[in-house]
A and B are shown apart, each in its own frame.
Chain A
Amino acid sequence: MDGQLQQYLPVLILAVVAIAFAVGNLVASYLIGQWINRRRLKSIPAAKNIPYECGMLPIGAGNNRLSVKFYLVAMLFILFDIEVVFLYPWAVVYREMLAENAGLIFGSMFSFIAILFVGYIYAIKTQAFDWKV
């Protein structure tokens, strides 16, 4: 094997162990369950298929519906979070580049923020931040 790839052998082993552990547990619990049921009961009672929750009967459906507003906020967050991601490296090199290439360093970030600002106005105007609507 390539020397460079050899370093990753422990990662590979860990991945194999992790997958084997997860699959093994599922298979083992299935087999043991079958074996016990065959000895004690004729069929699997319905109660055995209910998710276990501290001995209480579960209430309601498993998948709740979320308001679309949550997704909207998540989307807008990612959108404007990207802005910060770009602003950091830009701020680091800003002072150096200002001396030699002021137009490029200022113009690129200005146009980027201007485009995002259009999106921001659009979001405000379409009441994306207004939760009562």
Chain B
Amino acid sequence: MNLQLITLEVVVTLIGATILLGSLWLPADKRRHLPLVAAAALVVLLIAHCFAMGVDTTTTLHGFGGGIVQDGFAICLKRLFLASAAFVLAMSAPFVERLRAGPGEFCALILFALVGMLFAASANDFVMLFVSVELITVTFYVLTSFQRHETRSLEAGAKYLILGGVATGLMVFGISLIFAGSGTMSLREISKLDPLPNLMLFNAGLLLVVAGLGFKIAIVPFQLWAPDVYQGSPTPVTAFLAVGSKIAGFALLMRLLRHTSRPETGFLLDALAALAAFSMIYGSLCAIWQRQLKRLMAYIGISSAGYLLIGVIAMAKGFDGTKAILFYLAAYLFAAMATFTVIGLISKEGEDERSEILNGLHKRSPGLALTLTLSIVSLAGIPPLAGFFGKFLLLQLLLEMAVNNAAYYWLLGIALACIVASLAFFFGIIRAVYWPSDVALSRATAPAAPIPTSLPLKISLAICVTGIILLGLQPDVFLDLIQETVRAFRWQ
């Protein structure tokens, strides 16, 4: 037992429990500050984890019977999770009035989901994998339907519950088949087994587990829930679902594939390459005409999952994809968080977040308009912002892979075409923000008053914008930082 491996998880659990219990004794009018308190606690924890806690990023530590591993990759991901949860809590502060069921429970649930993600970053056997996925998913069942008085929130919760249940069922069945085919639950031991006792059962199980994780990261053909659930959930929850839950799914998928990939399971990587192509095509084509902002973010998320899958395949094949994936995830985190924060600020309670609510945003709040534009431009992958460089790194990996296997040139072509196609959706948004047509303006019901933005939200938006610009203009600084963290890191 090595308790220092789970310090972050224990501390976040304690913060969550404290907030849950504290909210019971706080007077009702003080409770709306709880999200900010939780966000501040997470920021302090993140800074402490980066500078003060003496975390050694260069060694790989194992604990809890091999179930938990701490390496550079896990540490990087844990910091991303902490940052994304802090952004989400900050953006839910002005949202609290709409959450009738209580801000204390809301913050506590977000923190508990964060614990699941932190565990997912260092899960190294199938028990930890399953428990962390369930901790994330079960809290999200409640969070997606948190606005009980709104039908669409309940609808989102019900859809997520049913499809999440299916995904969990697939995953458990797959894990049992993998255990039957290999005789162990530990990823480390599976990677050392040669030959596998029963290859057929193992392959079938692996396919099912990947399908279950595919639901979490929303790749085609497991993407159908994403637009509806994203649209119906409260905006901060959508942000957490789009960023935190997706990154956790990728973390698990990468560890799983890295340990289980061997010549006999090569078919899975080919299948995943096809799914990556379909996800990119589906996401970018559906995004073109989508005018509901949260659905649009769902389609952007689906195509992003496609791009990221390229990096995952490259890693499973032994290329050094860690840097590209972590860079893309960080770029996606900043851009998505900024977009969701602005969407949450602009939309009123019970209003459908169609792009009409952006009409004339430039006149109302130039700062928010600029933030939204930058993050959408970054998501679309236009140079010189962060999103462009993330995609560039992933395509570079694809080129390296194509040297050995010409089939990957096809994937490269599809990826390039999808990047061009995804430029289309951002014109509609930029036009609504800066040059709305007179017809649209006359139909707009919102008064042209500036949108009140609290100081913590201004800070969090400023951090996002700085991140987007810095990652784009000075990618080397961040890449060196990642390199430093994952330098001595070996997959074990």
Question: Which A residues have a C-beta under 8 Å from some C-beta of B?
Answer: 103-104, 115, 118, 121-122, 125-126
Contact = CB atoms under 8 A, between A and B. Distances in A.
A103 B21 contact: no
Interface in B32-58: none
Contact of A104 (B1, B13, B21, B24): B1
15 contacts: A103-B1, A104-B1, A115-B13, A115-B17, A118-B17, A118-B20, A118-B21, A121-B21, A121-B24, A122-B20, A122-B21, A122-B24, A125-B21, A125-B24, A126-B24
A4 to B, nearest CB: 13
Dominant SS at the B interface? Answer: helix
Contacts of A122: 20-21, 24
A104 B63 CA distance: 13
A103 B3 CA distance: 11
Contacts of B13: 115
Contacts of A121: 21, 24
Query: What's the interface size class on B, roughly?
Result: under 10
Contacts of A125: 21, 24
A115 B18 CA distance: 11
A66 to B, nearest CB: 19
Nearest to A101: B1
A33 to B, nearest CB: 36
Interface string B1-35: 10000000000010001001100100000000000
A121 B24 CA distance: 10
B66 to A, nearest CB: 15
Contacts of B17: 115, 118
A125 B21 CA distance: 9
Contacts of B1: 103-104
Interface string B273-286: 00000000000000
Contacts of B20: 118, 122
B63 to A, nearest CB: 12
A103 B21 CA distance: 27
* Interchain residue pairs A-B with the least CB separation, the first 5: A125-B24, A118-B17, A104-B1, A122-B20, A121-B21
Interface string B70-93: 000000000000000000000000
B327 to A, nearest CB: 36
Nearest to A111: B10
A118 B1 CA distance: 25
Interface in B302-319: none
Nearest to A114: B17
Contacts of A104: 1
Nearest to B24: A125
A125 B17 CA distance: 14
Contacts of A115: 13, 17
Given A115-B17, A121-B24, 13 more contacts: A103-B1, A104-B1, A115-B13, A118-B17, A118-B20, A118-B21, A121-B21, A122-B20, A122-B21, A122-B24, A125-B21, A125-B24, A126-B24
A122 B112 CA distance: 15
Contacts of B21: 118, 121-122, 125
Interface in B378-433: none
A99 B76 CA distance: 39
A107 B407 CA distance: 54
